[in-house]
Amino acid sequence: MEPALLLIILFAPLIAALALAMSLPCRPLAVGSGLVQLTLTMVLMFQLPVSPSAVIDGGYSFVTSFPVSTLPSFFTIHFTVGLDGINAPLLLLTSLVGLAAVGVVPQGMRRVREFHVMLLLIIFGATGAFISLDLFLLYIFYGVGLIPAFLMIGIWGSRDHKLAATQMLLYLTLGGLVLLAGLLAFYFSIPLELRSLDLREIQQVLALSAISNQSTIFILLLVGFGTLVSLVPFHSWAPPGYASAPAPVAMLYAGVLNKLGIYGLIRLGSSYLPDGIEQWSVLLQVVLLTHLLYIGWVTIAQRQLDLMIGYASVMQIGYLWLGFLSLSTIGGAGMMLLMIGHGLSTALLFAVTSEIRDRVGTMKFADLGGLARKAPRLSMFFIVGALASIGLPGLANFAGEILIFFGAWGNYPVTTGLCLLGLMISAVFMLRAVQHVCYGEVSEAVEKTGDLAAGSARWPYVLMMSGLVVFGFFPGLIIEMAKPVWSLMIAGATG
Amino acid sequence: MSSVFTEITLNHYLALSGIIFMIGLAGVMLRRDLMVIYMCLELMLNAASLALISFSRFNVNRFGPDAAAEGQLMVLFIIAIAVAKAAVGLALIVALYRNRQTRNVNDLAEMRF
Amino acid sequence: MNWIILFTPLFAAVLIALLVHPHPRLSAALSISACLISFLSSAMLVFDLGALPLGSFTWINLSGQNLIIEMGAMNDPLAQLMLLVVTGVGLCIHFFAYADMKGDPGLSRFFAKLSLLMFSMLGIVLANNFIMLFICWGLLSASCYFLIGFWFQHANAVEASKQALVVHRVGDVGFLLGVLGVWWVFRSVDFTVLETMLAGAQVAPARQNLINWMVFALFMGCLAKSAMIPLHVWLTGATEAPTPASALVCAATVLVAGVYMLCRIFFILELAPDVMEIIARVAMVSALLAALMASQQNDIKKILACSALSQVGSMVAAVGIGSVTAAMFHLTMHAFFNALLFLSAGSVIRALHQERNIWNMGGLRAKMPVTSWAFFIGTAALIGVPFVFSGFWSQQAVLVAAWTDHPGVFWIGLMTSGLTAYYMTRLLLVAFLGKERSDVVAGAGESSLLMQLPLMLLALFSVIGGWKWIGVVHFIDPDFVPNHEAGVVVMGLSFVVLVIGTGGALALYRDVEQDPVSIPLFARSFYVEELYAATIVRGQNAWAKTLEWFDQWVIGAVLVRGLSSLGTVGGELLRLIQGGNLQAYVFLLVLGVLFVCYWVLFRAHGGV
């Protein structure tokens, strides 16, 4: 029963996209598929075993698996999907942000049908990438998510969108190549007769013997996945890309798809490459601190709202890296929470930003101001998103960040202490943005701006906000899921 | 008399095939007339066919009668494809000539970036 | 029961924000009744009137990793006293706020934020572990931010609110470091567990350094919240909030949260006597400097804010010299009279149509008798008029505690009391007595009864709060033994400085048209704000601009575009081969084939 539900979750967006292509009504169908995804995801999350056993299916639940290609003497590719405590929260994030992204599509835009189809394809790709247990499948699904995003930025984007789209595609394809090299290196360092692309089998194989060449493999994976998560110095594509993307794409990309990079590193790095992480830990710390502080300061200097939000979302990824570096259950659980928090708050901010752009027509701080007067609801959502992203207690980001600090403190007290500086920096730029956008005198451009309409226009924002609040107040929901998997993983990696 | 002249071996066939191929290649590289180049291409193709069929004929001793059948099959394919190619290629040349009133490849130098 | 105390205000805030906000009166009623419910249930808890047992809930359970965060509630005298103070004074302020803010278009918003502030403060009071404390600590910063920026159309208010939150952030970061340190050293964040563990514990000399730093980091939180020098810059800005909110912030919540936190974690402070000494000194110097600042302000709310800071400084100093009892005693009394002073000032400001400059007031005693009397009582309590008023007793407690072992703190404290008498007398003389200094005063009238009632209530407590039979001191520490010997000396000395301070102000400020003393250093808060603006803010902005330039041009242009132009140049070079001559292509093709043949036959396997 449950494996079928997981398949429905995966294919709902694809089916909806196909149905849309045959000229059925866009919005109801897209929202419907989002609702199906969200409901079923929650059902599955509650069915997830509390203490999974690593013996059955490598600790994964609801597994469906069948071979796709069987080239002899070459690798066998399986279509394998399943859930555990690490990808289940990410699946939840995908369905939450996916539903919200569908919800904020402006209905008056040109070629709205094609837009919906591509949007659903991105959701399909993201869902598939998170739940696939086959490395090849994961790579394919990632591509499925990437291509429509590129097209959508190119077609429906704003500001310098063609350049941004090309830059993003080039970056991500090149990063993807490095990633592929890393994955191949990983694959070929498994003993010959045991080689597999299936995470379940890899788990069992590598429980017996550690992988060789960890340091090379890790650095390849770091660069590959790092480009996807826009780690310094591979970040140049992200802020302009997010800023010029239409809101739903920015939400899905900055909120959900780039988590795939972290996710991949958790899956392969934290479990199987502990020595690699160990060897590169100094580099990682330097990169992480550079990322947080450098991007933080660059964000302070931004003069336009959308670019600033783009940089801010990139900067806060830094805390996830700290959690990754910590290699501890506490830090791991914190990462899961922060991924959800960061995904939701970033998506919320991008949705509001794009709404402001559509209503006001400018993104320059100098021309904005007084939005709280003219559009109090929109401003409220903006302020909530901003405060969430700087770690206001009671919202999900805070719970994640504090756990990451607890987790990393033991091994890297100095780095953690320096990372705390990032909290101050992000407070400075976010509060400045709030000050420039929401408060102050009503500017000329804002004068004619109206607020969000009641009801149907508002629910996506409420959805994201309530996600932030729920996981902020009850982080246990995620932690209980992630804890056993992380404990096993850390125990396997260190012992 | 040495056996070189009495007995025709695989080497003879291969040498012939090579000579025909080289003639074809030289034609393609040196002649200017599109029609001639095309015919030289056919020469090269047939030289290859010849090599294939002689290999298959002389490999019967080694791999059994199936080898001959396989080689001939392949050659038949090549001939069939060559025919199709001839149809398309000649049609292209005719169309080109109609448009440009020339068959000299030096005048047809648009294939560059 | 405790959860009702804590969550009713949050519930009210959320309800107002989501549903009730179109109806201002209903919102106000909701917020006020939430505060009332909190107050009543606190009273039931404290006086043992059928309160339910305390509950707790596991927020984060990482049991294998020594990180179990169990949200519960403290129920010791410290928390109980603070509950009563916060909810009681808060209730008076809520009532006053309704009367004061009636007619403001943002009334619902205001009450939602006020309730959020109450929630955060009550969370701090009840917190039974560092994480819960830190969560509410952060929420307190946020609600303070919202309240200061309440009139968001005014650039000043917005700037001040941002500044406040950034400063609080600095403190938060320090505090968080301290919390991490505590967890790392003691492997627990629960107050009860830690207190049992540390009871009578000796610190190993090797660890003393670490513990010192940890305690200092924890003190950073207090430094920002209680606006100690050098993080006091947000306080004068906080006066941009509506007056009731300023009252709540200064008298019963944000400012004193730092003091309460230090009292709460006193068992950890005790491990680092050296740091406690530093705390006492920093705090007392802050108190003195704040008093100096107050003596030169012209804005009535700024004077009161500086005075609150000065009083809070002496409370923190009391904790620093080891007397939690004196600190909490003074905190309680201060909550009454400071709220009273702020609310009376609010009443005045409302009557004078938002005029806050004392040099435009004067002669208010005749115009607003009730408000003026309330202000007089508050002043008397603040400057410690002997034997009758509450402030006298609590200040005595602080000074007596410092008398024996901390002469430095004592003398600075004494100076501060003298200065307090001086600047409050100045304020009274200029704003309330004398003749009317501007036209706005002529049209002023007494405020409504709804505003007077909270004033009267607070005035009553400002008088009797310190009396022995009320028993605040013994509530905190049943074994408290007053030091009578020192008491007499200290009393005499403080009476002398009181007379000097009052006399000095009388001599200088009687019947003057403008300020006879002008010390810009004090008036501008020692230029600390300007210093920050010139160094940290400007430096950070310049640095940020530089990095942005670097990102744009070095990484974005040189590296990225450079790599892409490598591709372009390579393509241009290879293009030269593509001449368009068919036969040249064939020639190249043949060369390629020949090369492959050569490679396969002669190279690939080391020759044929």
DSSP string, C441-498: HHT--PPPHHHHHHHHHHHHHHHHTTSGGG-HHHHH-TT----HHHHHHHHHHHHHHH
DSSP collapsed to 3 states, A363-391: CEHHHCCCHHHHCHHHHHHHHHHHHHHCC
pLDDT of residue A75: 66
Residue C602 tokens read as: 């002669």
List C510's β-bridge partners, or say none: none
Can you spell out the DSSP letters for C255-298?
Answer: HHHHHHHHHHTHHHHTT-HHHHHHHHHHHHHHHHHHHHHHTT--
Selected residues 411-450 of chain A with any CB under 8 Å from a CB in chain C: 413, 416-417, 420-421, 423-424, 427-428, 431-432, 434-435, 438-441
Phi/psi of residue B79, nearest 5 degrees: -65, -45
Q: Residue C590: its chain B contacts at CB < 8 A?
A: 25, 29
Is the pLDDT score of C453 beyond 70? yes
Option in C578, C581, C586 nearest B113 (CB): C578
**C-alpha span between C180 and C511 (Å, rounded):** 57
Is the pLDDT score of A136 beyond 80? yes
Is the pLDDT score of A495 beyond 60? no
pLDDT of residue A55: 67
Q: Residue B109: its chain C contacts at CB < 8 A?
A: 579-582
Can you spell out the DSSP letters for C507-559?
Answer: HHHTT-SS-S---HHHHTGGGHHHHHIIIIIHHHHHHHHHHHHIIIIIIIIII
Q: What is the mean pLDDT of residues A210-227?
A: 89
What is the pairing mode between strands C57-62 and A76-83? unpaired
If pLDDT is split at 50, 70 and 90, which confidence band does C45 have?
confident
Please answer whether residues C474 and C109 qualify as being in contact, where contact means their C-beta atoms are separated by less than 8 angstroms: no
Comparing alpha-carbon positions, the chain A residue that sits nearest to C156 is A440
- For residue C591, the distance in angstroms to the closest alpha carbon of chain B comes to 12
For chain C, say whether A109 makes contact (Cβ under 8 Å).
no
If pLDDT is split at 50, 70 and 90, which confidence band does C1 have?
low
Is the pLDDT score of C503 beyond 50? yes
Please count the residue pairs, one from chain A and one from chain C, whose beta carbons lie less than 8 angstroms apart.
129
Lowest mean pLDDT among B15-24, B64-73, C179-188: B64-73
Residue A227 tokens read as: 């480009």
For chain C, say whether B30 makes contact (Cβ under 8 Å).
yes
pLDDT of residue A224: 93
List pLDDT tens digits, range A362-380.
889 988 888 888 888 899 9
Q: What is the mean pLDDT of residues C54-68?
A: 79
Question: DSSP assignment, residue C357?
Answer: B
Task: Verify whether the Cβ–Cβ distance C581 to B113 is below 8 Å.
Answer: no
> What average pLDDT does chain A have?
89
Question: DSSP assignment, residue A73?
Answer: T
CA gyration radius, chain A: 21
Is the pLDDT score of A155 beyond 60? yes
pLDDT of residue A52: 73
Half-sphere exposure of B66 (CA within 13 A, CB side): 1
Question: DSSP assignment, residue A63?
Answer: E
**C-alpha span between C416 and C437 (Å, rounded):** 29
Please answer whether residues A309 and A243 qualify as being in contact, where contact means their C-beta atoms are separated by less than 8 angstroms: yes
Phi/psi of residue C189, nearest 5 degrees: -120, 5
Task: Verify whether the Cβ–Cβ distance C173 to A420 is below 8 Å.
Answer: yes
Q: What is the mean pLDDT of residues C384-401?
A: 87
Residue A492 tokens read as: 């396997």
Q: Which residue blocks in B65-112 are alpha helix, DSSP H?
A: 65-100
Is the pLDDT score of A340 beyond 70? yes
Residue B102 tokens read as: 């020339």
Is the pLDDT score of C608 beyond 50? no
Task: Verify whether the Cβ–Cβ distance A424 to C544 is below 8 Å.
Answer: no
Please answer whether residues A281 and A408 qualify as being in contact, where contact means their C-beta atoms are separated by less than 8 angstroms: no
For chain C, say whether B112 makes contact (Cβ under 8 Å).
yes
> What average pLDDT does chain C have?
88
* Choice between C245 and A108, residue whose per-residue pLDDT is larger: C245
Lowest mean pLDDT among A198-202, B21-25, C30-34: A198-202
Task: Verify whether the Cβ–Cβ distance C559 to A233 is below 8 Å.
Answer: yes
Helix, strand, or coil here: A79? strand
Other C-beta atoms lying within 10 Å of the C-beta of residue A195: 15
Among A439, A446, A480, the strongest candidate for a mutation testing the C interface, having the largest count of C CBs within 10 A, is: A439
**Element housing C250 (H / E):** none
Residue C557 tokens read as: 């242009």
Task: Verify whether the Cβ–Cβ distance C548 to A297 is below 8 Å.
Answer: yes
List pLDDT tens digits, range C136-149.
999 999 999 999 99
**C-alpha span between B80 and B67 (Å, rounded):** 20
- For A4, counting Cβ atoms within 10 Å of its Cβ (0-12 exposed, 13-18 middle, 19+ buried), the class is exposed
pLDDT of residue C449: 86
Selected residues 223-242 of chain A with any CB under 8 Å from a CB in chain C: 233, 236
pLDDT of residue B3: 56
Please answer whether residues C316 and C441 qualify as being in contact, where contact means their C-beta atoms are separated by less than 8 angstroms: no
pLDDT of residue C604: 67
pLDDT of residue A72: 56
Please answer whether residues C116 and C139 qualify as being in contact, where contact means their C-beta atoms are separated by less than 8 angstroms: yes
Task: Verify whether the Cβ–Cβ distance C547 to A233 is below 8 Å.
Answer: no
**C-alpha span between C148 and C548 (Å, rounded):** 31
Is the pLDDT score of A118 beyond 90? yes
Q: Residue C547: its chain A contacts at CB < 8 A?
A: 294, 297-298, 301
Comparing alpha-carbon positions, the chain C residue that sits nearest to B29 is C583
**C-alpha span between C11 and C395 (Å, rounded):** 38
Is the pLDDT score of A264 beyond 60? yes
Is the pLDDT score of A148 beyond 60? yes
List pLDDT tens digits, range C232-249.
888 888 888 999 999 999
Q: What is the mean pLDDT of residues A408-413?
A: 88
* Choice between B110 and B86, residue whose per-residue pLDDT is larger: B86
In chain B, DSSP finds a helix count (H) and a strand count (E) of 5, 0
Option in C65, C152, C166 nearest A431 (CB): C166
Selected residues 330-359 of chain A with any CB under 8 Å from a CB in chain C: 330, 333
List pLDDT tens digits, range A348-357.
999 999 999 9
Q: What is the mean pLDDT of residues B76-102?
A: 91
**C-alpha span between C167 and C157 (Å, rounded):** 15
pLDDT of residue A358: 87
**C-alpha span between A485 and C20 (Å, rounded):** 44
pLDDT of residue A40: 95
List A80's β-bridge partners, or say none: A65
List pLDDT tens digits, range C279-324.
999 999 999 999 999 999 999 999 999 999 999 999 999 999 988 9
If pLDDT is split at 50, 70 and 90, which confidence band does B1 have?
very low
Lowest mean pLDDT among A158-162, A303-307, B33-37, C286-290: A158-162
Phi/psi of residue C405, nearest 5 degrees: -105, -15
**C-alpha span between A359 and A350 (Å, rounded):** 14
Task: Verify whether the Cβ–Cβ distance C581 to B109 is below 8 Å.
Answer: yes
**C-alpha span between A141 and B12 (Å, rounded):** 57
pLDDT of residue C592: 93
pLDDT of residue A323: 92
Comparing alpha-carbon positions, the chain C residue that sits nearest to B112 is C580
Non-local (6+) Cβ contacts of A102 within 8 A are A27, A30, A31, A33, A34, A116, A119, A120, A123, A248, A460
For chain C, say whether A169 makes contact (Cβ under 8 Å).
no
In chain A, DSSP finds a helix count (H) and a strand count (E) of 23, 2
pLDDT of residue A74: 58
Q: What percent of chain A lies above the pLDDT cut of 70?
A: 98
**C-alpha span between C177 and C216 (Å, rounded):** 10
List pLDDT tens digits, range C84-99.
999 999 999 999 999 9
pLDDT of residue A457: 80
Non-local (6+) Cβ contacts of C95 within 8 A are C32, C450, C453, C454
Non-local (6+) Cβ contacts of B102 within 8 A are B108
Helix, strand, or coil here: A350? helix
Task: Verify whether the Cβ–Cβ distance C183 to A409 is below 8 Å.
Answer: yes
- For residue B104, the distance in angstroms to the closest alpha carbon of chain C comes to 11
For chain C, say whether B110 makes contact (Cβ under 8 Å).
yes
Is the pLDDT score of A261 beyond 60? yes
pLDDT of residue A318: 92
Q: What is the mean pLDDT of residues A431-437?
A: 91
List pLDDT tens digits, range B72-88.
888 898 899 999 999 99
- For residue C576, the distance in angstroms to the closest alpha carbon of chain B comes to 9
CA dihedral C31, C36, C37, C42 (to 10 degrees): 130
Q: How far is CA A201 from CA A156, A482, A485, in A?
A: 42, 21, 16
Q: Residue A314: its chain C contacts at CB < 8 A?
A: none
Please answer whether residues A337 and A471 qualify as being in contact, where contact means their C-beta atoms are separated by less than 8 angstroms: yes
For chain B, say whether C586 makes contact (Cβ under 8 Å).
yes
Give the dihedral sign, CA B84/B88/B91/B93: negative
Please answer whether residues A433 and A386 qualify as being in contact, where contact means their C-beta atoms are separated by less than 8 angstroms: yes
Is the pLDDT score of A222 beyond 90? yes
Option in B25, B28, B112 nearest C580 (CB): B112
**C-alpha span between C28 and C34 (Å, rounded):** 10
Q: Which of C415, C210, C427, C243 is nearest to C313 (CA)?
A: C415
